[in-house]
């Protein structure tokens, strides 16, 4: 019986224990960020929260965030929903607001008997009628927002040369009491009007339903632009739905879209300056861009053990010929000169070091094309002179085509690693010992001549001297910029440096890469994804 009583008592204690019990022994500082405690407090206060804040938050939940007006919108919602008898003298309202930063406000509003009759809670309720306004809202089509934004863009363009009178929105579709802009005069003064409180046209127009909010003038302007103006980015407005009775009209409208080349640049081998202003003239004049290769490059080609395949013109037999002597190595090649992105375009040295040769050439080509198009000044190595204007950045894309993107970076890193494990890891004494062992095995008598032994003695002495000197070789360390070299290609680097925030991509179609990239750029222009595209190949 005593055990049963103890068990019953323990069960009752567990039942009546506070949900906050597990957190009572925690240091106060740890509770500040305790998610479990936060969840527990939310659960415990859910009913009280709903009772106290449901009415104040109701309208915001129906309308959405009104930003700076949110706290007073909530106060209006509370007055409208419970003001008719629910807000009696003696009650208080806690008003709390906070922003996305570190600022917040909190104050208390006390309900008291009115001392005058103009501003009373019943009159506020009668004037607000928020629930009625919510019911009177009109469901409109999504494209109405497109029309409104397009009209706003027109307004900003025209407002640079006032006077200006807006044409949108339609006055007859606004709530009674709404303030709206009527004009901006030559002195940049803004003039407003207000829809009369007794105006009934809003309800009349709402009952008609289905009509556009955008005024006919706005619709005519947009359609005229879409059909007759030779600009890009208007394909959306030229669908067949715009021409239900004339499909030829849509085709003709699409043909009016003009995609033109506004700037070019050409980097050529065979000259000290890779991007010369006369490079295109050199190509047209048929000037060659090849030259003799150096002895160092010839040795590097020999080390690669290239094997040529030659086909006989007489009987068609195939012969494999090893390129194992210098006279078999190619003598001429088209070799590109060096590019200093820092000195020419103001690219930070650390950023330039993350790029392989292909990316560096791509950045230089893109910069020169932008300069030729007049989108950047490019007068000096000041980085600001190589950035496009802010108004063009969101609508400027970059397309990069390369058959071997990041190959130099990948191969170079592998070679550094292999060299550190072979030649770089061997000390002089080990190399001398290995060479002596080979000579002994090759000798019929398995012994070396006195001259050879003397030579090895001198090599060993010199090796000991070198061993006492400070080490010159640096052990292999994985390049922390390797991922930048192989992942962040020329298109990303060019966009970052020039400030192009439009579509950005890379493609590889071997010899057809340039043609493919130009076709992709045209698609971007016609579909409206960009207004200009830098194609780098």
Q: Of 121, 95, 89, 120, nearest to 108 (Cα)? A: 95
Cα(257)–Cα(525) distance, rounded to whole angstroms?
Answer: 9
- Reduce the DSSP state of residue 180 to 3 states and report it: strand
Percent of the chain at pLDDT exceeding 70: 80
Are 205 and 129 in a shared domain?
no
Residue 111 in any domain: the answer is: yes
Cα dist. 495→109, 385, 409, 518, 530 in Å? 53, 14, 20, 17, 14
Confidence of residue 1 (pLDDT cuts 50, 70, 90): very low
What was the pLDDT predicted at 238? 38
Single out the residue in 135, 155, 186 at which a domain terminates: 135
Rg over alpha carbons for the chain, rounded to the nearest Å, is 39
Encoded tokens for 369: 């094309």
Residue with tokens 């003009």: 258
Instruction: For residue range 148-194, list pLDDT tens digits in order.
Output: 887 777 766 665 666 777 776 667 778 888 888 888 888 888 899 99
The stretch 376-382 carries a mean pLDDT of 92
Number of H helices, E strands in the chain: 22, 11
Are 126 and 169 in a shared domain?
no
pLDDT of 356 over the 90 cut: no
CB 73 within 8 A of CB 55: no
Encoded tokens for 362: 């791509």
Number of domains composing the chain: 3
Residue with the larger pLDDT of the pair 533 and 469: 533
Are 130 and 148 in a shared domain?
no
Are 213 and 120 in a shared domain?
no
Are 105 and 162 in a shared domain?
no
Instruction: For residue range 258-313, list pLDDT tens digits in order.
Output: 688 999 999 999 888 899 888 888 888 888 889 898 888 888 888 788 898 888 87
Are 157 and 246 in a shared domain?
yes
Encoded tokens for 37: 């405690």
Q: What is the DSSP string of 36-48?
A: HHHHHHHHHHHHH
Residue 363 in any domain: the answer is: no
Instruction: For residue range 63-96, list pLDDT tens digits in order.
Output: 988 888 899 999 999 999 998 888 899 999 999 9
Residue 82 in any domain: the answer is: yes
pLDDT of 242 over the 80 cut: no
Residue 471 in any domain: the answer is: no
Single out the residue in 465, 482, 508 at which a domain terminates: 465
Are 109 and 81 in a shared domain?
yes
Are 167 and 127 in a shared domain?
no
Residue 50 in any domain: the answer is: yes
Instruction: For residue range 121-140, list pLDDT tens digits in order.
Output: 989 998 888 998 888 887 87
Among the ranges given (115-119, 242-246, 334-338), the one the predictor scored with the smallest mean pLDDT: 242-246
Single out the residue in 420, 442, 465 at which a domain terminates: 465
Residue 414 in any domain: the answer is: yes
What was the pLDDT predicted at 265? 92
- Mean of the per-residue pLDDT values of the chain: 80
Encoded tokens for 212: 């556009």
Are 99 and 157 in a shared domain?
no
Are 212 and 237 in a shared domain?
yes
Residue with tokens 């950005």: 504
Which residues have a Cβ under 8 Å from the Cβ of 116 and sit 6 or more positions away?
Answer: none
Show the domain range for 164. Answer: 143-255
Residue 1 in any domain: the answer is: no
Are 163 and 234 in a shared domain?
yes
- Reduce the DSSP state of residue 333 to 3 states and report it: strand
Instruction: For residue range 445-471, list pLDDT tens digits in order.
Output: 777 777 778 777 877 877 776 666 555
What was the pLDDT predicted at 186? 80
CB 404 within 8 A of CB 513: no
Instruction: For residue range 8-28, list pLDDT tens digits in order.
Output: 445 554 556 789 998 998 898
What was the pLDDT predicted at 521? 93
Residue 197 in any domain: the answer is: yes
Are 53 and 117 in a shared domain?
yes
Cα(375)–Cα(382) distance, rounded to whole angstroms?
Answer: 15
Q: What is the DSSP string of 499-528?
A: T--S-EEEE--GGGHHHHHHHHHHHHHHHT
């Amino acid at each position: 019986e005593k055990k049963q009583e103890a068990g019953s008592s323990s069960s009752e204690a567990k039942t009546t224990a506070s949900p906050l019990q597990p957190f009572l022994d925690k240091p106060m500082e740890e509770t500040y960020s305790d998610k479990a405690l936060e969840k527990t407090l939310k659960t415990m206060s859910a009913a009280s929260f709903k009772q106290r804040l449901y009415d104040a938050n109701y309208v915001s939940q129906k309308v959405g965030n009104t930003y700076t007006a949110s706290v007073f919108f909530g106060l209006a919602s509370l007055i409208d929903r419970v003001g008719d008898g629910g807000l009696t003298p003696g009650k208080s309202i806690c008003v709390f607001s906070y922003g996305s930063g570190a600022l917040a406000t909190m104050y208390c509003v006390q309900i008291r008997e009115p001392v005058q009759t103009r501003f009373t809670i019943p009159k506020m309720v009668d004037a607000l009628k928020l629930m009625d306004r919510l019911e009177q809202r009109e469901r409109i089509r999504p494209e109405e927002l497109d029309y409104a934004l397009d009209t706003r863009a027109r307004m900003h363009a025209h407002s640079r040369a006032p006077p200006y009178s807006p044409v949108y929105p339609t006055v007859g579709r606004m709530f009674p009491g709404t303030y709206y802009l009527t004009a901006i005069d030559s002195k940049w003064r803004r003039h407003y009007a207000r829809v009369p409180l007794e105006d009934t046209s809003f309800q009349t127009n709402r009952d008609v339903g289905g009509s556009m909010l955008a005024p006919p003038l706005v619709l005519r302007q947009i359609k005229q632009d879409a059909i007759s103006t030779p600009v890009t980015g208007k394909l959306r407005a030229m669908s067949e739905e715009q021409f239900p009775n004339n499909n030829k009209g849509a085709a003709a409208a699409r043909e009016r879209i003009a995609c033109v080349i506004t700037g070019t640049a050409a980097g050529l081998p065979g000259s000290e300056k890779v991007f010369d202003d006369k490079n295109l003239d050199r190509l047209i004049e048929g000037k060659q861009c090849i030259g003799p290769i150096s002895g160092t490059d010839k040795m590097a080609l020999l080390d690669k053990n290239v094997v040529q395949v030659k086909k006989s013109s007489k009987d068609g037999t195939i012969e494999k010929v090893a390129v194992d002597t210098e006279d078999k190595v190619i003598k001429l090649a088209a070799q590109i000169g060096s590019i200093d992105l820092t000195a020419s375009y103001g690219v930070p040295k650390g950023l330039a070091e993350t790029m392989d040769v292909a990316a560096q050439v791509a950045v230089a080509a893109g910069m020169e094309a932008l300069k030729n198009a007049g989108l950047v000044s490019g007068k000096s190595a000041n980085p600001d002179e190589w950035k496009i204007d802010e108004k063009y950045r969101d609508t400027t894309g970059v397309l990069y085509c390369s058959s071997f993107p990041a190959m130099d970076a990948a191969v170079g890193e592998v070679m550094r690693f292999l060299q550190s494990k072979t030649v770089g890891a061997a000390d002089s004494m080990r190399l001398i010992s290995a060479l002596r062992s080979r000579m002994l095995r090759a000798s019929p008598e398995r012994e070396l001549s006195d001259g050879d032994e003397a030579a090895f003695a001198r090599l060993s002495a010199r090796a000991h001297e070198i061993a006492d000197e400070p080490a010159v070789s640096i052990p292999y360390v994985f390049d922390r910029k390797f991922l930048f070299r192989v992942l962040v290609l020329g298109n990303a680097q060019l966009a970052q440096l020039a400030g192009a925030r439009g579509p950005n991509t890379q493609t590889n179609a071997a010899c057809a890469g340039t043609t493919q990239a130009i076709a992709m750029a045209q698609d971007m222009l016609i579909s409206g994804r960009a207004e200009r595209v830098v194609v780098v190949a």
